[in-house]
Structure 1
Amino acid sequence: MIETLMFLLAYLLGSIPSGVWIGKLFFKTDIREHGSGNSGTTNTYRVLGATAGTIVLVMDILKGTIAALLPLWLGSNVHPMVVGLFAVIGHVFPIFAKFKGGKAVATSAGIALGAQPLFLLCLAAIWGSTLYITSMVSLASIIAVIIAAIASLFLGDPLFTVIAWIAMIIVIVRHSSNIVRIKNGSESKVPFGLKKNKS
C-alpha cells in the first residue's frame, strides 16, 4: 500500500507543470504558445527570461529530489531511483497539463540529487561547462545524460544504472527535434556562453 502511495505521489509531483503555472500566474503567458512550444525549463528561459527560467529549473529539480526521498521519509525499502522514475513519467506526461510535458532533464537531475548527490555535482559541472562552450541547453543536457548513463556503470548500483539508462533514453527521445536542429545548425542558443545568441 505504501509503495502505491509513493508511486502516485511521485507521478503527481512530476506532473506539476512548473513552466506553465509560473508563466500563467506571473506573466499571463502560456509558454506552450511561444518559442519551441515546450513547457520545460529551456523554453521558459527563452520566453520568460532568466528569473522565471531559474525558478522553473529549481522547481523541476525539486520534483525529482522529493520523489527520490519519499522512500526514506515513508520508511520504505523501495529504491529511490524507482520512485523517482515515476516523477519523470509525470513530468513527460503530466495529468495537470493534458499529458503534454517537458523533456525531463531537470527532474532526472533532481532524482540523482536525492539518490547520489556527489554524482549529480560532477554531472552539473559537465552540463555547465558544455553549456558555456556551446551556448545550447539541449546539447549540454544530451551530453550530460549520456555521460551519466555511462558513469552509472561504475557505481556498483545495478538498479541506479538501469534507471539512469532509461532516463537517458527518455531524454534523448524527447530531444529528437533538437538533435535535428543541432545537426543543421539551427538550434536556439542562450544569451550567454562562448557562442551566445547575439540577436
Structure 2
Amino acid sequence: MDYLIAIVGGYLLGSIPFGLLLTRLAGLGDIRQVGSGNIGATNVLRTGRKDVALATLFLDAAKAALALILAREYLSQEAGYIAGAAALLGHCFPIWLKFNGGKGVATFFGTLLIGIWPVGTLAAALWLATAFVFRYSSLGALVASAAAPLIAVAFHASPIGVGATLFMSVLVWIRHRENLARLIKGEEPKIGKK
C-alpha cells in the first residue's frame, strides 16, 4: 500500500506541467506551439525568456524532489525512490496533456540529487562535461542517464534505488528517441544554434 501511494502521489506531482503553466502566465502563449513543442525548460528557453526557462527547470526538478521527500518522510526510504521515479513518469506522460509531456531531464536530476546525491552529482557532472565538449544537450542527457544506474550500483544503492534509477534512465532514453535519431544522422542542433 505504501508503494501504491508513492506511485500515485509521485505521478500526480510529476504531471504538473510547469513549462506550460509558466509560459501562459508570462503571456507567451502555448509552449506546445513553440520550437519542439516540448513543455520542458529547453523549449521554454526558445521563447527568449531565460527567467521563465530557469523557473521551469527549477520547478520540474523540485516536483520530483518533493515527491521523494514526502514519501521518504511519511512512508519509507524505498517509497521515496519509487515516488521520485513516478514523478518522472508523470512529467513524461502527464494525464492532463493526453500523456504527452516533457523529456524528463530536470525531473530525473531532481530525483537523483535528493534521493541518491552522489549518483545525481556524478550524473550531472557527466551531463555538463558531455554537453560542454560536444555541444549537444541531448547527448549529455543520454550519457548521464545511461551511466546513472551503473553509478548507483557502484555506490551500493539499495535494489529499489538502483531499480528506480534504471527505470528513470529508460524513460529518459524513450523520450529522447527522436534526438537520438537526429544525433545519428548528424541533424541534431547544437547548443546555441537554432
Match of 1:93 in 2: 93
Q: TM-score, normalised by structure 2?
A: 0.90
Matched residue type, 2:86: F
Q: Secondary structure at the match of 1:38?
A: coil
Q: In terms of mean alpha carbon deviation, does 53-62 or 150-159 score higher?
A: 150-159
Match of 1:194 in 2: none
Q: Quick one: distance in 2 between partners of 1:118 and 1:77?
A: 16
Q: TM-score, normalised by structure 1?
A: 0.88
Match of 2:34 in 1: 34
What is the aligned length? 193
| Pairing 1:114–2:114 present | yes
Match of 1:165 in 2: 166
Q: In terms of mean alpha carbon deviation, does 70-79 or 59-68 score higher?
A: 70-79
Matched residue type, 1:133: V
| Gap runs ≥5 in structure 1 | 192-196
Q: Quick one: distance in 2 between partners of 1:112 and 1:68?
A: 10
Q: What are the residue-to-residue correspondences of 1:27-176 with 2, within 5 Å? A: 27-76=27-76, 78-156=78-156, 157-176=158-177
| Gap runs ≥5 in structure 2 | none
Q: Quick one: distance in 2 between partners of 1:38 and 1:86?
A: 19
Matched residue type, 2:56: V
Matched residue type, 1:179: L
Q: Quick one: distance in 2 between partners of 1:154 and 1:160?
A: 12
Q: Quick one: distance in 2 between partners of 1:184 and 1:45?
A: 25
Say if 2:3 and 2:82, in contact at 8 Å, map to a contact too: no
Say if 2:6 and 2:80, in contact at 8 Å, map to a contact too: no
Two-structure CA RMSD over aligned residues (Å): 1.9
**1:73 Cα deviation after fit:** 2.5
Q: Quick one: distance in 2 between partners of 1:141 and 1:61?
A: 14
Q: Secondary structure at the match of 1:32?
A: helix
Matched residue type, 1:120: G
Q: Quick one: distance in 2 between partners of 1:138 and 1:10?
A: 25
Cα distance change of structure 1 residues 72 and 28 upon mapping to structure 2, 3 Å threshold: same
Q: Structure 1, residues 44-66: CA drift from partner, whole Å, max 9, x if none?
A: 22234432222111111111111
